[in-house]
Chains A and B, each alone.
Chain A
C-alpha cells in the first residue's frame, strides 16, 4: 500500500525502534495524498445520497450504528466502488456520555466509578490511570505500599486476560468462527469469577482507588487465581487449533488491513496496532509503572502489520499475562493494601465505632472528599488497547477541575480508513474487529 521503502525489521529486537525523521515526513504526506478518509460531514453525505446515486460510479453507504459486526455503536460511512472500499469515515459519538463533564462534579474518591465505565472491557485500567494521576497530583505516588502495587498489577493483568478473551471471542465471531464466541465467553466467565471473588463485582469494579486498592485480597485468593490459570492453557490450545492453524481464518486475516509503522506512528496508534507493525513499544517495559520493572515478561511484536498479527499479539499477550500473574502469586508481599495517610484513605470501618476522629475522617472523605493540591499531571498505562492516559487539572479543591482521558481506541480509530482502503466490505468487518475498539472510551 505504501511506496516508502522499509528497512528490514528485526521483530525480536528489544531496543527502541530506530526511526528516521525523514520517514515520518513521508508518511504524513503520504497519508494526506492517499485520501483514505472521507472528508464530508454527515449532513453533506445525507444531502448527497438523496440525489440520484446511479449517476456516480461510487456509492456512499452507511454501516451502523446498529450492526452485528461493529463493536459497539460505531458508524462507518463507506465510499464503495462495487465491493471495494475506497474511502471511509468513522462516525462516533453515539455513546457520548459526558463523562468528562460529570467528572468535574464528582470527588476524587468517586472518580474511579465514573472513569471505570469508559473502557468497559478492561475497567481496572481506567481506574488505574485515574488513580496514578491523582496520586501524582497529591504527591504520594512514591508512598504507595508495595502490596497495593502488587495487587494492582495482579488485577490489571487478570483484566488484560479477560479483555483479550473478549477480543478472541468477538474476532472469531466476526470472521465467521461462531464457536469462538461461545468458547471465549466460557473462559472469560472463569476470569470474571476470579475478579468477582476479589473485587466484589464482575465488571466496573471501582477497586483501584487513589491511595491503593479498595480492599485487601480475600483468603484463599491464591487458590482461586491458580485454578483459573490452570484451566486456561488447555482452552488456549483449543483456540489455537480452531483459529490459528485454520486456513480459512488465515485467509481472512493475513494481508488484510495492513498498516506500516510510519503510518501507525503518524496516526498516533498505540498498543497491539503499533506492535503489529514491528515497533516494540510497550509502556510496561519502556516507561514502567507500578512494579513492572521487577517482572519478567516479553513484549509480543508482529512484523506484517495485518489483522492476523494483531490477533496473534493479543493471543500471546494472554500467555504473557499469565506468566506475570504467576510471578505475582509468588512474590506478593505482606503489608498495607492502601496508603495510611488519613487524609486520603478512609479509616477501617471497625474503627468508626471506637474513635470520633475516625468517624469524622470517614465522613469528610466520603462527603466532601479529600483536597488535591493545584496543578496538572498526565499519567498513562498500557491497556489492552494501547496507551490509556489521564490528564487532570486540579484547582486545590476536592473535585477535579478538568479530567481528560486519552482513550486509545479514539486515536486508533483513525487508522481504520487507511487500513480499509482497497479492501472489501467483508475485510472491513475483520479490520474493525482487529482494532478492537471499545466505544465507551472513544466517546466518553
Chain B
C-alpha cells in the first residue's frame, strides 16, 4: 500500500490517506466504498438534511431499509473514513435511485450514552416500521417518530435483543430418553 501524500480538496478538510478508502466527499459528507458500493457517513445532525437533499435533488426517491448495528465486540477495522469517530451503534440507511439504478448506503454513528437519532419519517414515511424495529432491537430512539413502540417483541419486554450484551437466550438442551407410549 503506497503511502500517499496529503490530498486537499477545495473546502474539504485534509485527509491523510493511509489505507484503501479515498478521502473524498460526496453530497457534502465523507464517502467510502465497500466492495464497490458507495457508503456515506453523515453525522446525526446532517442526516435528515442529507436524505432530504438526496430525495429532492439527486433522485433517491425511496428508502429501502433502516437498520442498526451494535459494534460493541467488533475488533476489526470498521472501514470508517478519517474524521468520523466510531461509536457503539450505527444506524444504516439504504436509499435507491430508480432513475440512476443505484443504491446508496448511509452509516450514522450513534453513541452509547445518547442512543438517539433523528427520524426519517418526515422525508420517507416508509421508514416508520423499520425505525420501530431498530428501536425494539437496539434501543435507539428516533426523535420525531410518530409512534415509537416495540414492534417485534411483546410491549412489556425488557431489554433490546440484538444488542451484543443481550444473551441469545439459549436453553440448555438436555437429553431426554424417549418415553414409552401409553
Contact = CB atoms under 8 A, between A and B. Distances in A.
A265 B111 CA distance: 31
Contact of A39 (B34, B105, B147): B147
Nearest to A136: B35
Interface stretch (B2-10, B11-19, B119-127, B172-180): B119-127
A93 interface: yes
B126 A269 contact: yes
A42 B137 CA distance: 18
B65 A267 contact: no
A375 interface: yes
B70 interface: yes
Interface stretch (B22-30, B41-49, B75-83): B75-83
A112 to B, nearest CB: 20
Contacts of A32: 122, 125
A101 B56 CA distance: 36
Contacts of A269: 126
Interface in A230-270: 265-270
A105 B151 CA distance: 23
B67 A404 contact: yes
Interface string A199-229: 0000000000000000000000000000000
B67 A401 contact: no
Interface stretch (A154-162, A349-357, A386-394, A421-429): A386-394
B117 to A, nearest CB: 16
A136 B137 CA distance: 26
Task: Output the residue of B61, B92, B151 with the most chain A CB within 10 A.
Answer: B61
Q: Is the interface of A mostly helix, strand, loop or mixed?
A: mixed
A378 B94 contact: yes
B63 to A, nearest CB: 6
A389 B129 contact: no
Given A41-B147, A100-B162, A387-B64, A375 B155 contact: no
Task: Output the residue of B34, B64, B169 with the most chain A CB within 10 A.
Answer: B64
A21 B152 contact: no
Contact of A16 (B70, B101, B168): B101
B65 A19 contact: no
Contact of B124 (A28, A380, A396): A28
Contact of B153 (A96, A287, A387): A96
B50 interface: no
A8 interface: no
B50 to A, nearest CB: 15
A37 B121 CA distance: 13
A402 interface: yes
Nearest to B36: A136
Given A101-B161, A101-B162, A389 B123 contact: no
Interface in B115-159: 122-130, 133, 137, 146-147, 149-155
Interface string A28-41: 10011000010111
B162 A406 contact: no
B55 interface: yes
B77 A374 contact: yes
Contact of B61 (A31, A98, A265, A414): A265
Nearest to B166: A101
21 contacts: A18-B99, A19-B59, A21-B55, A21-B57, A28-B125, A92-B151, A139-B35, A266-B125, A268-B62, A268-B130, A375-B35, A376-B34, A377-B35, A377-B37, A378-B65, A389-B65, A401-B69, A404-B67, A410-B129, A410-B130, A414-B126
Give the 5 A-B residue pairs with the shortest CB-CB distance, closest first.
A268-B126, A374-B76, A267-B126, A93-B152, A96-B152
Interface of B: 34-37, 39, 55-57, 59, 61-65, 67, 69-70, 74-77, 79, 92, 94, 98-99, 101, 103, 105, 122-130, 133, 137, 146-147, 149-155, 161-162, 168-169
Given A374-B77, A410-B133, 6 more contacts: A17-B98, A100-B162, A375-B34, A376-B79, A378-B94, A411-B130
